[in-house]
């Protein structure tokens, strides 16, 4: 698989570089950017920028830098963002609805964000058939049909922890290979499936460590 060839840490930084280039392309007339400038804007060192990009080819010239439009297009190719890709979301509670609105705004505002939210799913029969931002909520039983119809490649899980593994299994059986998991639980998946987890409670607890303690 592609992610076995290159460190996932490298892949995680590529969208940061792309976001910087998107901002430059949309908001300024800057045509060149150095690894130093790109690193500062992305929050990493210039040597790491050069090392990350070198995995995929030679994109810049020493002493000149990177051509913004060219590097932007190359990163879109590397990240499979040249063509539109369909995304599904399971769990249309408060978090799920917020993610729907955030996702749709990103899709509307950024022409590099070619990840289209194509389908919503929920286990609550009172929600099935209703819509959020114009997208109809389907039942979990409809997952195989919707994945095939919409050609869903990635799914976002915003379901309770106790149901996350079952929902993930349903999508995996339907052929989905990439999962963004917001449920506070570790998913057990085949080696052919890539999972990225976002645990809000763990991140808040980590940040709590850095809160200054009150003086005695």
96-124: pLDDT as tens digits: 999 999 999 989 988 778 899 999 999 99
The pLDDT of residue 64 is: 79
| Rounded CA separation 89/92 (Å) | 8
Q: Terminus-to-terminus CA distance in the chain, angstroms?
A: 55
H or E segment at 71?
helix 68-78
The pLDDT of residue 3 is: 45
Note the CATH number of domain 2-78.
1.10.10.10
Between 96 and 28, the higher pLDDT residue: 96
Q: Which of 41, 40, 33 is nearest to 61 (CA)?
A: 33
Is it the case that residue 2 has pLDDT exceeding 70?
Answer: no
Domains 2-78 and 85-203 share a fold: no
Between 64 and 189, the higher pLDDT residue: 189
pTM of the model: 0.85
Structure tokens at 84: 């539109």
Specify burial of residue 94 (Cβ count, 10 A radius: 0-12, 13-18, 19+): exposed
Would you tell me which CATH number, out of the four given (3.30.1490.20, 3.40.640.10, 3.40.50.720, 3.30.390.30), belongs to the domain 85-203?
A: 3.40.50.720
């Amino acid at each position: 698989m592609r992610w076995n060839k290159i460190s996932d840490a490298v892949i995680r930084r590529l969208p940061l570089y792309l976001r910087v280039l998107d901002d430059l392309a949309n908001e300024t007339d800057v045509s060149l950017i150095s690894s130093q400038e790109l690193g500062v804007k992305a929050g990493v060192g210039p040597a790491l920028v050069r090392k990350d990009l070198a995995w995929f080819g030679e994109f810049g010239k020493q002493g000149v830098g990177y051509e913004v439009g060219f590097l932007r297009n190359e990163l879109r190719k590397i990240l499979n963002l040249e063509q539109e890709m369909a995304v599904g979301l399971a769990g249309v509670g408060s978090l799920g609805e917020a993610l729907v609105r955030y996702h749709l705004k990103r899709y509307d505002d950024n022409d590099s964000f070619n990840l289209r939210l194509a389908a919503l799913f929920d286990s609550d029969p009172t929600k099935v058939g209703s819509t959020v931002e114009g997208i109809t909520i389907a039942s979990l039983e409809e997952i195989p049909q919707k994945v095939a119809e919409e050609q869903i490649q990635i799914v976002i899980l915003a379901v309770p922890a106790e149901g996350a593994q079952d929902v993930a299994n349903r999508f995996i059986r339907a052929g989905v290979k990439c999962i963004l998991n917001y449920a506070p639980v570790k998913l057990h998946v085949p080696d052919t499936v890539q999972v990225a987890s976002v645990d809000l409670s763990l991140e808040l607890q980590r940040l709590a460590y850095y809160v200054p303690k009150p003086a005695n």
